[in-house]
Amino acid sequence: MLAVLTGPVRSGKSREGMRLALASGARVVMAVGGMPDDDEMSRRIERHRTGRDAAIVVIETSGDPSWPERVPADACLLVDCLGTILGAGLAALVPPDVDVLDDATEREAERTADELVAWLIHRGGPTVVVTNETGWGVVPATPLGRLFRDVLGRANRMLVDSADVAWLVVSGRAVPLHTLKQEVSWLKER
């Protein structure tokens, strides 16, 4: 079973993802990717830690591409959030002073994301993926920002296409994506 919750920041995705994971009946393993690289981010991470059930096992993924190997097959995996996990991996691929990405870096970024997405899709145990929607605003000013936007957008689409259930969570409301058409068409005249 694969469930995906996507949407903007602070929309309620994490709360709903946790609710789904706990309702699975399996023990919950939560994969998180935040890195405490400044005081503000450290405070955010600490608030996240104190706000979750003590029975939840947490795997910190940053800097460890082999983290999926630590997820028990029978556990419910809660990924919170895919954007943070992929972002850390992409940041490691792109030097901070680069002005233009080369094709090899773009391919490596897509390969890395594709492998993670494929693993999430084909995983045996219940899986809940919380992810962010990007690209609804301005074009990012940096090559890394544009790469992140493109890679995460593609990963989200692949996950939702394969998910058993998917929601767009906006302002605390969940819009069921799995019930909507995938293709657009002209409205029929009446």
Q: Which residues are catalytic?
A: 48
Q: Which of 179, 172, 175, 17 is nearest to 82 (CA)?
A: 17
Count of helices and strands (H, E) across the chain: 5, 7
Q: What is the token pair recorded at 34?
A: 């935040």
Q: Which residues pair with 165 in a beta bridge?
A: 3
User: What is the spatial distance between Cα 29 and Cα 58, in angstroms, rounded to a whole number?
Assistant: 6
Helices (H), the chain: 13-23, 39-50, 82-93, 103-122, 143-162
Q: What is the token pair recorded at 109?
A: 């970024």
Q: Which residues pair with 175 in a beta bridge?
A: 168
**Tokens 């939702």 correspond to what residue?**
160
User: What is the spatial distance between Cα 147 and Cα 114, in angstroms, rounded to a whole number?
Assistant: 14
Q: DSSP string covering 11-35, please?
A: SSHHHHHHHHHHHTSSPEEEEE---
